[in-house]
Amino acid sequence: MNSTLLWLRPWLWLAAAIVIGLMLWLLGPVLTPFAFAALLAWLADPLVARIERSGRSRATAVTIVFLLMTLVVAVIIVLLVPMLQSQVRRAIEWLPALGEWMNGTAVPWVEAKTGVSLGEFVDPAAMLALLKSHWQEAGGVAANLLGGLSRSGIALLGLVVNLLLIPLVTFYFMRDWRGMLDRLQELLPRPLAPTVMSLARESDQMLGGFLRGQVSVMLALGAIYGVGLTLLGLDLGFLIGMIAGLLSFVPYLGTAIGLIAAIIATLVEHGDLFHLVLVCAVFSVGQVIEGFVLTPWLVGDRIGLHPVAVIFAIMAGGQLFGFLGILLALPVASVSMVLLRFAHARYRQSALYREERDIGSVQGPPAPPDSGPPPVAPGAEPAPP
């Protein structure tokens, strides 16, 4: 019976992984607020533990941290949301100027430099006319969306329930986090419990430090880009900077999108080389500060994933499980990295890797070739055969 269980153990783990993946795929929309709440509770748990160590109870510590989180969200809503809303409205009003710049400057310049007539593929005048005829309607997109939600009772109810669930479930997760971990630990098979707990602690330290540091880097980069572009006189500088900072979670994506958007905005609003150089300088300074100050100080090398692996993990998670997959992409990738390191270490200690070396160490070094009897010193009798 024991040999049968040992033989079936890998297949049981594989079956469990398949069942969990299938449940995530089927229940993704329902699990999204719970996953987001669990992520918030997990990120806040070190602060709760620190307050507990100061002598306060778990309930008091959770209440203090929850109120702090609520205060931060309220400040963001009160201060940043109106500013971003103004920037989005200005971007919508700015679209006709972008169309005129493309029609009068960009397309003729490309045609002159390349000798290719873009009019054979696209008519800039028609695109500009279409943009002018419909850009006024863009400002009503949010109103139309809210109107559609209000007319659809189920969609509106689902949105309200999700928004209410996140803070509620976050509070309960924060309060019962240690108890849930203890109950999960009790369910582990006893022979595997020490190894699993060791890997879980390593994953928690690596991923927790990475996510907390990366959020700080995103906000700092958004502030650097937004303030810098605004000081250059770009109407959309704050919006472009914040988008670039938030997208920096995916390596190189935020910088590329922010730089391209800032260059286009500069060409439309100013159209001179001086402002283009200043825009490039803002992003260059931001990259230098990120590479030499923010990332080493706040993030370090806590996750050990190549940037390409991070991009692939986020894209694969979004493709397979939607927004839930994006939330779980980096946690799953970091745990997978810990497991791969553990498997690599076990492989280096296995007989499969060490077989030839072990055989050599057991048998000892090879004997020297037979060169006949040892030489006889002068005046000594030869040894008997």
Residue 218 has pLDDT above 80, yes or no: yes
pLDDT tens-digit profile of 150-181?
455 555 566 677 778 888 889 998 888 888 88
Looking at the structure, tell me whether residues 236 and 352 fall in a common domain.
no
The pTM score is 0.60
Q: Is 168 in the same domain as 255?
A: no
- The pLDDT assigned to 359 comes to 45
- Range from 24-38, 61-75, 87-101, 189-203 carrying the lowest mean pLDDT: 87-101
Q: How confident is the model at residue 114 (pLDDT cuts 50, 70, 90)?
A: confident
Whether residue 207 has pLDDT greater than 80: no
The two structure tokens encoding residue 191: 């022979």
118 and 166 housed in the same domain: yes
More confident residue, 207 or 245: 245
Domain carrying residue 284: 206-302
**Residue 380 covered by a domain:** no
Roughly how many angstroms between the first and final C-alpha of the chain, as a whole number? 62
Q: Does 161 fall in a domain?
A: yes
Domain count, the chain: 3
Let me know if residue 368 belongs to a domain.
Answer: no
Q: Which residue has better confidence, 105 or 263?
A: 263
Domain annotation covers residue 362: no
Together in a domain, 215 and 292: yes
Give percent of the chain above pLDDT 70.
75
Provide the pLDDT for residue 31.
Answer: 83
Residues contacting 111, CB < 8 A, separation 6+: 117, 118
Q: Is the pLDDT of residue 371 over 60?
A: no
The answer on pLDDT for 16 being more than 60 is yes
Torsion of CA 75, 79, 85, 89, to 10 degrees: 180
Q: Is residue 232 part of a domain?
A: yes
Residue 265 has pLDDT above 80, yes or no: yes
Same domain for 62 and 35: yes
CA distance 110 to 103: 11
Mean pLDDT of 196-205: 82
Looking at 302, 325, 342, which one is the last position of a domain?
302
Distance between CA 127 and CA 118 in Å, rounded?
Answer: 13
Given a cut of 50, whether residue 341 has pLDDT beyond it is yes
Asked if residue 78 is part of any domain, the answer here is yes
Q: Are residues 32 and 174 in the same domain?
A: yes
Of 86, 74, 101, residue with least CA distance to 239: 86
Average pLDDT score over residue span 293-312: 69
What residues have CB less than 8 Å from 325, skipping those under 6 apart? Answer: 24, 28, 316, 317, 318, 319
**Same domain membership, residue 284 and residue 185:** no
Q: Is residue 59 part of a domain?
A: yes
**Residue listed under structure tokens 């109107």:** 147
Least confident stretch, 132-141, 164-173, 320-329? 132-141
Euclidean distance between CA atoms 181 and 194, whole angstroms: 14
Q: Is residue 140 assigned to a domain?
A: no
Residues 55 and 119 in one domain: yes
pLDDT of the residue at 8 = 60
Question: Domain check: are 32 and 181 in the same one?
Answer: yes
Residue 59 and residue 125 in one domain: yes
Q: Does residue 327 share a domain with residue 293? A: no
Confidence of residue 279 (pLDDT cuts 50, 70, 90): very high
Mark whether 158 and 290 lie in a shared domain.
Answer: no
Using CA atoms, how far apart are residues 111 and 137, in angstroms rounded to an integer? 32
Chain centre to alpha carbon of residue 28 = 19
Residue 116: pLDDT above 60?
yes
| pLDDT reading at 225 higher than 90 | yes
Q: How confident is the model at residue 121 (pLDDT cuts 50, 70, 90)?
A: low
